[in-house]
Structure 1
Amino acid sequence: MRTFFWTGCLSYLLIGLAHVIIGALMPELLAHYGKDYSAGGQLVALQFFGFLIGVLAGPWFSQKLGKRGALLVSLFCMALGEMVFFTLPPWGIVLAIAPLAGFGFGMVETIIGAVVIGHFEESRKTVAMARIEVFFGVGALVMPLLVSLFIAAGWWRGSFLALSLLSLLVFVLWAVLPLGRMSAVMAKSASNAVQAGAVPSFKGLPGGLIGLLTLFIVIFALYVGAEMSVANFLPSIMIENVGVKPEIGALSVTCFWGAMAVGRLFAAQLAGRWGKARYLLVSCASGTAVLSLFAMADTVFSSYALVLLLGLLMSGMFAVALVYANGFFPGMEERITSILIASGGVGGALIPLLTGWCMDQLSVSVALWVLVTLYVLLLALVYGASRMRFRAKAANVSSPRV
């Protein structure tokens, strides 16, 4: 169990790096290829289209190859995709290879997340997911810092090479490390569980639960879309809004993900003390207020301070919401996790596309207020989900502490 957990943490560190590398390098990439923000939004969207395919294909690959085999396939795809980026091929090839990289980290995220939620003890699920998400945040924090160093050294594309080599290292670890009692879980075919009747079907679920699942699908799409828009366009926003240099703009993402990593150290404790529903409501309401202030900020100091605060407030939402949602569907953790991460992938593809278009065709200010509007909608949906939990209880389905 311990070997699986720490290798999973390293894998989440890797996908944290992969999630933000395009955003951290966005100004350099667009300048190198002579493209505008709309093209940058297309690149992010294509990468998250691949992410969506990876999430949805995860159960199929797990069935055919086992979870360990599926992880090896996904890590190889990541390593190959980042190596192609490193060569700076023509823009058409960059767009074509982006889904391959996204496919890799999408499958890694859904497989590890589903195993933690489905096979860890109930009392450890939120803590384990929060700790693993800390490593995601650390990866997302470190990559912009590395990018800044590579930019300062005049070799910004070296960031892609570093990520490709780390992907190969994690590939080797999953291939050779003994996993102890988790070995059977990592080798078990998803089809065996279905044939044995261990995985309940969506057929026959009460309408209230179907409605609740639909709300969570939209919630994850909005949250991940907003998070990826901030993470990918934050350097460009800082450059446009307050006139910082590109290498300083890239550090804004480090501040954001650094705050995310710190916040995730305490997210599980806060969610346990307040209840998951209240934690999510407080995070959404506070995040809406801070994002509104960030849209109005016009100085470097205030902008960076608000970036730090926004990262703290957004830090635990993904892990807490994932465990919270799965609590309403016992025995269906792999399916629910896959569906919710996939919905996040859809949001991560479409909302940054909208953000890039707004920045290119309208203004940075308009793009930020669009994100504020989406966050207000997110708050309303989280409140709706928290009210619908009573219907879920009435359906005699075990639910988490709320």
Structure 2
Amino acid sequence: MKVFLWMGCLSYFLIGLAHVVIGSLLPDFLAYYGKDYTAGGQLISLQFVGFLVGVLSGPWWSAKLGKRGALLLALCFLSSAELVFAMLPAWGLVLVIAPFAGFGFGMIETVIGALIMQAAEEEHKAAMMARVEVFFGVGALVMPLLASMFIAEGWWRGAFLTLGLFTVCMLLLWWFLPLGVLRERMQRGYEPTVATDMVRKGSMGVFLLFILIFLLYVGGEMSLANFLPSILVENFGASSEIGAISVTCFWGAMAVGRLFAAAFSRKIGYSRYLMLGSAGFCILVAGLAVTTGITLAFGIIILLGLAMSGMFAIALVYANSFFPGAEERTTSVLIASGGIGGATLPLLTGWSMDTLSVSWSLWVLVGFAFLMLLFVWVTSRMHRRALETVTS
């Protein structure tokens, strides 16, 4: 189990790198191809369409190839896509390749997340998910820093090459390393389960709300992560190198916050933790929209990372607690709903930055954050009623 946990952490580190590499390079990437932010939004959206396909097809691939086989397939797709990006092919080929990258890190995320939900003891699930999410944050922190260094050296495509080679290393590790007690489970595929009493007694409404929460959260997170450099360049006159560092600050705060997310959420309750995070997301993005100083903007970005740090992991554990025995299906659907948000909201953000302004684009994100807060509040009330129904 210990080997698997560290492999899961390294894999989430890889996912963090892959999630933000395009956003970290976006101003230079678009300038090289002579494209606008709408085209950038299309590129990010296509990557998350692939992410959605990878997440939804993960159980099917697991059934055909086993979980280890599904991970190896995903790593093949991701490494190939990033190495092609490093070659700077024609824009049309970039758009074709983007979904394959998303497919790779989408399947990795859902397979490992489901394994943690299935294999970990109930009291350790939040801590394990928070730990792997820390590594996701570290990866998302490191990539913009690497991108900034490559940009400063005038060879920004090196970020794609670095990511592609690291993915090849992960492929070899998953192929050859022993997995101890999880070896048999890794060879098995998806195991269908029956609906629990919670589902039969009306909690599908709660599940639908969680789908919306994941859609809004991941969409908002990816919009910020991918467009923060462009926001600082356009709104505050920062250089592209400084803009890339803003994403490092955001994910650095995310990584720090996730170290304490599990303990804090257990102390105040999962629903309260999610409401606090949603409220912080809403208020801080509004602050970013009205501020004019770049120093204050960086402070807000760090607070944003802290506020949002544990929301994904805690929401995933919270949702799975409603549907014991259906962890793989629940995890797959919820991560997929996040993929839909990651595909659609950055597209809307890129369009609004081109047609409206950066400030108006931030206010659109404020609206989505408010909706997420509302859905979390309604979910907590529906969950309480569902529990009363089950125990009555």
TM-score (norm 1): 0.96
Deviation of residue 207 (structure 1)?
5.6
Where do residues 290-309 of structure 1 align in structure 2 (5 Å cutoff)? 290-309=284-303
Verify the 8 A CA contact 2:79 2:165 in the aligned structure 1. Answer: yes
Change (3 A) 1:246 1:204: closer
Task: Find the counterpart in structure 1 of residue 340 from structure 2.
Answer: 346
Task: Find the counterpart in structure 2 of residue 212 from structure 1.
Answer: 206
Task: Find the counterpart in structure 1 of residue 78 from structure 2.
Answer: 78
Deviation of residue 61 (structure 1)?
0.6
Instruction: Please state whether the residue corresponding to 1:206 is helix, strand or coil.
Output: helix
Task: Find the counterpart in structure 1 of residue 118 from structure 2.
Answer: 118
Q: CA RMSD in A?
A: 1.3
Residues 176-195 of structure 1, C-alpha deviations (whole Å, 9 max, x = no match): 000000001101122xx33x
Task: Find the counterpart in structure 2 of residue 358 from structure 1.
Answer: 352
Task: Find the counterpart in structure 2 of residue 277 from structure 1.
Answer: 271
Task: Find the counterpart in structure 2 of residue 43 from structure 1.
Answer: 43
Deviation of residue 113 (structure 1)?
0.4
Separation in 2, partners of 1:210, 1:32: 47
Check if 1:245 corresponds to 2:239. Answer: yes
Task: Find the counterpart in structure 2 of residue 322 from structure 1.
Answer: 316
Bigger Cα displacement from structure 2, 289-298 vs 49-58: 289-298
Bigger Cα displacement from structure 2, 320-329 vs 286-295: 286-295
Residues 153-206 of structure 1, C-alpha deviations (whole Å, 9 max, x = no match): 11000100000000000000000000000001101122xx33xxxx11489933
Check if 1:53 corresponds to 2:53. Answer: yes
Task: Find the counterpart in structure 2 of residue 173 from structure 1.
Answer: 173
Change (3 A) 1:206 1:180: same
Question: For residue 181 of structure 1, what is the amino acid of its counterpart?
Answer: V
Separation in 1, partners of 2:317, 2:102: 23
Deviation of residue 118 (structure 1)?
1.2
Separation in 1, partners of 2:97, 2:317: 32
Verify the 8 A CA contact 1:208 1:388 in the aligned structure 2. Answer: no
Instruction: Please state whether the residue corresponding to 2:390 is helix, strand or coil.
Output: coil
Separation in 2, partners of 1:206, 1:46: 36
Separation in 2, partners of 1:23, 1:146: 13
Residues 207-245 of structure 1, C-alpha deviations (whole Å, 9 max, x = no match): 631100000000000000000000000000000111010
Deviation of residue 395 (structure 1)?
4.1
Separation in 1, partners of 2:38, 2:63: 38
Unmatched tracts of structure 2, length 5 or more: none
Residues 336-368 of structure 1, C-alpha deviations (whole Å, 9 max, x = no match): 000000000000000000000000111101100
Task: Find the counterpart in structure 1 of residue 186 from structure 2.
Answer: 186
Question: For residue 310 of structure 1, what is the amino acid of its counterpart?
Answer: L
Change (3 A) 1:100 1:202: farther
Question: For residue 150 of structure 1, what is the amino acid of its counterpart?
Answer: F
Question: For residue 339 of structure 1, what is the amino acid of its counterpart?
Answer: V
Residues 280-309 of structure 1, C-alpha deviations (whole Å, 9 max, x = no match): 111111221111111111111000000000
Verify the 8 A CA contact 1:206 1:395 in the aligned structure 2. Answer: no
Instruction: Please state whether the residue corresponding to 1:35 is helix, strand or coil.
Output: coil
Instruction: Please state whether the residue corresponding to 1:396 is helix, strand or coil.
Output: helix
Question: For residue 186 of structure 1, what is the amino acid of its counterpart?
Answer: M
Task: Find the counterpart in structure 2 of residue 163 from structure 1.
Answer: 163
Separation in 2, partners of 1:59, 1:216: 20
Separation in 2, partners of 1:387, 1:92: 48
Verify the 8 A CA contact 1:141 1:254 in the aligned structure 2. Answer: yes
Q: How many aligned positions are there?
A: 392
Residues 31-62 of structure 1, C-alpha deviations (whole Å, 9 max, x = no match): 00000000000000000000000000100110
Separation in 2, partners of 1:289, 1:136: 24
Separation in 1, partners of 2:199, 2:378: 19
Q: Matched residues, percent identical?
A: 58
Check if 1:376 corresponds to 2:370. Answer: yes
Question: For residue 369 of structure 1, what is the amino acid of its counterpart?
Answer: W
Verify the 8 A CA contact 2:81 2:98 in the aligned structure 1. Answer: yes
Separation in 2, partners of 1:91, 1:22: 14
